[in-house]
């Protein structure tokens, strides 16, 4: 990693943030031949980590990131167990592993190393304090390293600062919807009992994770990751309640020892309406490119990072970094993900409207109609709008379609 003083010439693109999305943008740009510099405020890539790292294998493959080195992958999963608040279990067994959990710090470092190997410059301990804005256009950044602040100019600044949105606000763009945030806790635990080694456990219900869900993911080394997010209240207290009181999770976790916890918000409101302005693109969590159903932001963030890199590179080559040209970024993101975001926002609203009793009823209904059979050959779980279209058009799913439509309409008159 370079120190910021070593960077004297003007790069084509400056990326704010060395998270997965910032580093992937830099990787793509470097591969396209652009000069790119990443500023990361921490002294190491990937830490502190706050993420469960549950990712779709197919999506990673499509992004050119799978197979991953063995030390990054903690486990792969071909089963999901969904528990209603009363403890009713609906299991889906898939024909082969469809998701994996990764060590997020190692995953982030892997992408950053690839970006550096492709020619990107990564500067650690380099906190972007502010944008340089001239005549309404972003022209660079001011970076603080130790006690010194320095200005760096670039043709385009890509903001991948994550959910905090401090830099985005300086552009005057409207940030993500604060009312659609949930507050997450992610913990690592030892001494968990009765885990199925290839199953992700999902716990639903207002008593344990109001406005979201809780999860338990075994690792191959016998430890596990457990976490949840909540719309209201203190996530730490909900985690304790889950581990001690939940009819199923408490049997697995009541004797477990927590070895690490991290807290961080998750944005569920769907992409911000405008993620560009002259000389500037926002990508990843800062642009709320996160699945409103599951809170997964890595794959959609990386997908948009690829688009941001292509548009930024083209803008630099054409010498046109105007807002008018950069709007192509928003359009291409919407073309790629807009349908799925629309469906997932509706599913999120629908899930939020269900009482605990209804969740119980819905899971029992899914088991009764054999939804697990319909899902067993599913390989793609990120693009949930397309997935829903695929499964609901199967004749066996007509009953499900009628049932969910009725529930949805009664919740959203």
- Beta-carbon contacts of 192 under 8 Å, excluding residues fewer than 6 positions away, are 216, 218, 223, 224, 226, 252, 253, 256
Q: How many Å apart are CA 11 and CA 37, to the nearest integer?
A: 7
- Beta-carbon contacts of 313 under 8 Å, excluding residues fewer than 6 positions away, are 12, 13, 29, 32, 33, 34
| Shortest Å distance, C-beta 329 to ligand FAD | 15
Where would I find the beta strands (DSSP E) of 146-255? 148-153, 156-159, 181-190, 199-203, 214-218, 224-230
| Encoded tokens for 86 | 């009363």
Beta-carbon count within 10 A of 152 CB: 23
C-beta of 128 vs 345, nearer to ligand FAD: 128
| Shortest Å distance, C-beta 62 to ligand FAD | 14
Q: How many Å apart are CA 233 and CA 225, to the nearest integer?
A: 21
In the complex, the residues that contact ligand FAD under the rule CB under 6 A are: 16-22, 39-42, 50-55, 127-128, 160-162, 164, 167, 184, 186, 227, 264, 266, 284-285, 290, 295-299, 301
Are 151 and 141 in contact, with CB atoms under 8 Å apart? yes
C-beta of 122 vs 388, nearer to ligand FAD: 122
| Shortest Å distance, C-beta 100 to ligand FAD | 10
C-beta of 63 vs 167, nearer to ligand FAD: 167
Helix, strand, or coil (residue 35): coil
| Shortest Å distance, C-beta 322 to ligand FAD | 25
| Encoded tokens for 394 | 């199967």
| Shortest Å distance, C-beta 265 to ligand FAD | 6
C-beta of 85 vs 295, nearer to ligand FAD: 295
C-beta of 127 vs 206, nearer to ligand FAD: 127
Q: In the β-sheet with 148-153, what is the strand arrangement from edge to edge? A: 127-134, 137-145, 148-153
C-beta of 115 vs 128, nearer to ligand FAD: 128
| Shortest Å distance, C-beta 91 to ligand FAD | 20
């Amino acid at each position: 990693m370079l120190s910021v003083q070593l960077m004297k010439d003007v790069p084509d693109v400056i990326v704010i943030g060395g998270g997965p999305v910032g580093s992937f943008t830099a990787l793509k740009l470097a591969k396209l031949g652009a000069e790119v510099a990443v500023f990361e405020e921490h002294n190491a890539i990937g830490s502190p980590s706050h993420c469960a790292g549950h990712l779709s294998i197919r999506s990673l493959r499509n992004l050119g990131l799978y197979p991953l080195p063995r030390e990054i992958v903690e486990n792969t999963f071909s089963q999901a167990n969904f528990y209603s608040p009363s403890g009713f279990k609906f299991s889906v067994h898939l024909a082969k592993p469809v998701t994996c959990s990764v060590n997020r710090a190692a995953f982030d470092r892997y992408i950053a190393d690839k970006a550096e190997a492709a020619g990107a410059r990564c500067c650690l301990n380099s906190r972007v304090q502010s944008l340089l804005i001239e005549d309404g256009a972003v022209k660079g950044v001011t970076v603080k390293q130790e006690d010194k602040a320095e200005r760096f100019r670039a043709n385009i600044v890509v903001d991948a600062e994550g959910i905090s949105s401090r830099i985005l606000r300086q552009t005057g763009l409207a940030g993500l919807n604060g009312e659609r945030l949930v507050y997450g806790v992610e913990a690592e635990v030892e001494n968990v009992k009765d885990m199925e080694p290839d199953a992700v456990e999902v716990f639903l219900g207002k008593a344990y994770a109001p406005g979201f869900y809780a999860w338990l993911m075994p690792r191959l080394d016998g430890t596990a990751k457990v976490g949840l997010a909540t719309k209201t209240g203190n996530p730490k207290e909900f985690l304790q309640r889950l581990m001690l009181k939940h009819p199923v999770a408490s049997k697995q976790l009541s004797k477990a020892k927590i070895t690490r916890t991290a807290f961080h918000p998750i944005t569920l409101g769907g992409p911000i309406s405008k993620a560009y302005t002259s000389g500037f693109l926002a990508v990843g969590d800062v642009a709320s490119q996160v699945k409103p159903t599951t809170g997964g932001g890595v794959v959609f963030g990386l997908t948009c990072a690829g688009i941001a890199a292509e548009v930024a590179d083209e803008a630099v080559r054409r010498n046109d970094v105007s807002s008018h040209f950069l709007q192509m970024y928003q359009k291409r993101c919407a073309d790629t993900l807009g349908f799925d975001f629309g469906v997932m926002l509706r599913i999120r609203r629908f899930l939020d409207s269900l009482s605990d009793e209804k969740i119980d009823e819905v899971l029992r209904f899914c088991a009764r109609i054999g939804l697990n059979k319909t899902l067993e050959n599913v390989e793609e779980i990120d693009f949930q709008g397309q997935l829903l279209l695929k499964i609901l058009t199967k004749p066996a799913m007509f009953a499900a379609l009628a049932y969910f439509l009725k529930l949805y309409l009664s919740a959203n008159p």
